[in-house]
Amino acid sequence: MISNYSTKIGLEIHCQLTSLKSKLFCSCHCNYREYSPNENICPTCTGLPGTLPLLNQTAIEKAAMVCMALRCTIPNNILFYRKNYFYLDLPKNFQLTQYNAHGITSIGVDGLLGYGQGEARIRRVQLEEDPGRLSYVKGSSGSLIDYNRAGVPLVEIVTEPDFHDPKDVRLFLNKLASIVEHLGVCDTSLEGAVRCDANISIGDSRRVEIKNVSSFGDVEKALKFEMTRQKAMLNYEMEIRGETRHWDEQRKITKQSRTKEEEQDYRYFSEPDIPSIQIDEDYLKELHSKMPELPDERKERFINYYNLTEHVSKVLIEHKDLADYFEESAKIYFAPKEISSIIVTDLMSYVDDNSKKLGSTIRYIKMSPKQLAEIARMIKEGIVNRKTAKQLLYEAVVSGKLITSSENETNFRKIDDEGLILRSIENVFETESLAVLDAKKNPNVSNYLLGKVMELTKGRVDPGRALSQINKKLLEY
């Protein structure tokens, strides 16, 4: 019976640290995408004789933040290793990476990341350099080499084989993408910024590696294909070979690779040109205090402060862009439910429909968060009905222009009157006396009170100021 086979899936995710200014070991630009071939190179990243790697301090910082977010242990000393193999895109014919076989010296180990209903153990996180890129010309048998990408910093995140279902892999990858976005270390919408290799074994069969999956979205498809293929083979009692297969993006199938991995012998040894890097406790403490809000924390805040549902919050935080857009808009006009529902239903489907053209991020739509706030206001105040609102919305999304009526503008102005803010708070404290009592014990409940104040004032007071007034008033109680 097919269903009795247990499936084990492990992942190796490569994530470029796109927020850096320079490469991992030299001062060439990390943003290689803007340059003509071989315009973003120097003696170091092309491996000219006599050059030495100069490790980027911020690369360590960003990688350590990824480790913290994944609850990894960060060792006090880290080393870089040479992975020796020849290839056309590798200027030195070795890759500088990290390695744990001779002692734990990679930037992070033994982490854990929860997603959906499950969690996956993180075996290790390591820093390494990206190779250059190859392309081909029609009618020629040779290759064309561009070193602009060579030396761009990558973090490699390796999980234990803790997944059993490709669907979980997708949830995990979405979560991970949101984390690196929230950390500000990687813009996952850039082509090639995140890549994923997967390994899969079914029952007692040998492990198959799937390489070359260049978008997170395709990983689930590749794994589903591979599971179907392997189960079919097992049903016919064919033996599954331990091998490496490549994902064919066009045909959506996995194909046997021509390179034989078993012939590789990487001859790792620690890079003599890079000293052992000491990462002291104080450094990590400082870094910990600088950690930005992570998706899980943000979700809790969305639920408590904006009163959004678990589901809507989850959808919003899955993409930092989306969550940022929402918050910016809600700051202008406090109608979180209205705004989030427009984003989650209308805007997201627009982005999905146009992802080929624009890239799968809300960043490329022309409508500003302010315009969305305005639409939400018009709905809330009954100025337009939902049907008209939708028309206005699509208009704005495409053109960046919002056709508004100029009437009733006064309602949209911010309330700057301290007395008015205090009166609104008093009102809320009266109607929500039970919540006030709760709030004295549980600070999260003051977010609820703030929500009520925002509702009452139609989002026209500054939430920061209002919250501090609420907290002040709570002390008086």
Partner 1 sequence: MVSKDEIKHLGWLARLDLSEEELLKYESQIDRIIQHFDILDGLTLDILEPTHQTKSVRNLRIDEAKNFGENILPKTRNRKDGYLKGPKSDVKQ
Partner 2 sequence: MSRLCDLSLDEVTDGIRNQHFSAEDYVSHILERIAKLDADIKAFVSVNSDHAIESARRIDSKIRRGEKVGYLAGITVGIKDNISTKGLRTTCASRVLADYVPPYDATVIRKLKESDAIVIGKLNLDEFAMGSTTEFSNFGPTRNPWNLDYVTGGSSGGSAAAVAAAECTASLGSDTGGSVRCPASFCSVVGFKPTYGSVSRYGLIAYSNSLEQIGPIARTVSGVVRVMNVISGVDPNDDTTRTVASPYSVESNRNHLRIALLNNLTVNAQPEVSKCIYSAMDTLSSAGCICEEITLDSLEFALASYYVIAMAEASSNLARYDNIRYGFDLDPEGYEWNSYFSKVRSNFGEEVKRRIIVGTYVLSSGYYGRYYLKAQKVRALLRREFKSLYSKYDVIIAPTMPILPFKIGEKIGDPIKIYYMDIDTVISNLTGMPAISIPAGFSNGLPIGLQIMSDDFQEQKIFDAALLFERTAKIQVRSPL
Residues of this chain that interact with partner 2 (CB under 8 A) are 43, 46-55, 82, 84, 86-88, 91-94, 102, 140-143, 145, 265, 267-269, 272-275
- Of 39 and 310, which CB lies nearer to partner 1 in the complex structure? 39
Helical H segments across 280-347, by residue range: 281-290, 295-305, 310-318, 320-332, 336-341
| Nearest residue to 120 via CA among 154, 85, 162 | 162
For every residue of 237-257, DSSP letters joined together read: TPPPP-EEEEEETTTTEEEE-
Shortest distance (Å) from residue 439 CB to partner 1: 43
Angstrom distances, CA of residue 388 to CA of 96, 120, 340, 401, 409: 57, 46, 18, 15, 19
- Which partner, partner 2, partner 1, none, binds residue 139 by CB below 5 to 8 Å per kind? none
79 binds, options partner 1, partner 2, none, Cβ within 5 to 8 A by partner type? partner 1
Nearest distance from residue 285's CB to partner 1, in Å? Answer: 13
Which of partner 2, partner 1, none sits in contact with 387, Cβ below 5 to 8 A by type? none
Of 112, 71, 130, 464, nearest in space to 291 by CA: 71
Nearer to partner 1, 150 or 454 (CB): 150
CB of 86 to partner 1, least distance (A): 5
In the bound state with partner 2, the residue whose beta carbon lies nearer, of 52 and 420, is 52
**Which of 97, 254 has the CB closer to partner 2?**
97
Cβ distance to partner 1 smaller for residue 223 or 287: 287
Work out the burial of residue 416: count CB atoms within 10 Å of its CB; fewer than 13 is exposed, 13-18 middle, 19 or more buried. Answer: exposed
Least spacing, CB of residue 314 vs partner 1, in Å: 34
Q: What is the rounded distance in angstroms from the CA atom of residue 336 to the CA atom of residue 343? A: 10
Q: Is 293 helix (H, G, I), strand (E, B) or coil?
A: coil
Nearest approach, Cβ of residue 277 and partner 1 (Å): 5
67 versus 373: smaller Cβ distance to partner 1: 67
Say whether 217 sits in a helix, a strand or coil.
helix
> Taking the complex as a whole, how short is the minimal distance between the CB of residue 430 and partner 1, in angstroms?
54
Distance CA 409, CA 412 (A): 5
Largest interatomic CA distance in the chain: 82
Q: Where are the alpha helices (DSSP H) in 333-443?
A: 336-341, 348-353, 355-358, 369-380, 386-399, 418-431, 433-441
Binding partner of residue 29 among partner 1, partner 2, none, CB under 5 to 8 Å per kind?
partner 1
Nearer to partner 2, 82 or 149 (CB): 82
d(CA 325, CA 321): 6
Identity at 24, one-letter amino acid code:
L
Residue 13's closest CA among 252, 134, 206, 174? 174
DSSP state letters, 127-143: EEE---EEEE-TT-SSE
Question: Rounded to the nearest whole angstrom, what is the least distance from the CB of residue 259 to partner 1 in the complex?
Answer: 6
Nearer to partner 1, 137 or 475 (CB): 137
Smaller CB separation from partner 1, 61 or 110? 61
Binding site for partner 1 (CB under 8 A): 20-22, 27-30, 36-39, 41-43, 46, 48, 54-61, 77, 79, 86, 88, 134-137, 141-147, 258-259, 265, 267, 270, 275-280, 283
Residue 50: contacted member of partner 2, partner 1, none (CB under 5 to 8 Å, by partner type): partner 2
Residue 82 interacting partner from partner 2, partner 1, none (CB closer than 5 to 8 Å by kind): partner 2
Picked from partner 1, partner 2, none, the partner binding residue 92 (CB below 5 to 8 A depending on kind) is: partner 2
Question: Are 320 and 182 contacting, i.e. CB atoms less than 8 angstroms apart?
Answer: yes
* Cβ 142 to partner 1 shortest distance, Å: 5
The nearer residue to partner 2, 60 or 389, going by C-beta atoms, is 60
Q: Which does 399 bind (CB under 5 to 8 A by kind): partner 1, partner 2, none?
A: none
Residue 77 to residue 86: CA distance in whole angstroms? 29
Our CB check for partner 2 shows the closer of 48 and 232 to be 48
**Least distance (Å) between residue 99 CB and partner 1:** 14
Please check whether residue 269 is in contact with residue 282, taking contact to mean a CB–CB distance below 8 angstroms: no
477 binds, options partner 1, partner 2, none, Cβ within 5 to 8 A by partner type? none
- Minimum CB distance to partner 1, residue 233 (Å): 23
Residues in Cβ contact with 375 at an 8 Å cutoff, skipping those fewer than 6 apart: 342, 384, 389, 392, 393, 396, 402
Residue 94's binding partner out of partner 2, partner 1, none, with CB under 5 to 8 Å set by partner kind: partner 2
Q: How far apart are CA 170 and CA 173, in angstroms?
A: 5
In three-state secondary structure terms, 147 is: coil
Contacted by 47, from partner 2, partner 1, none: CB < 5 to 8 Å by type: partner 2
Q: How far is the CB of 144 from partner 2 (least distance, A)?
A: 11
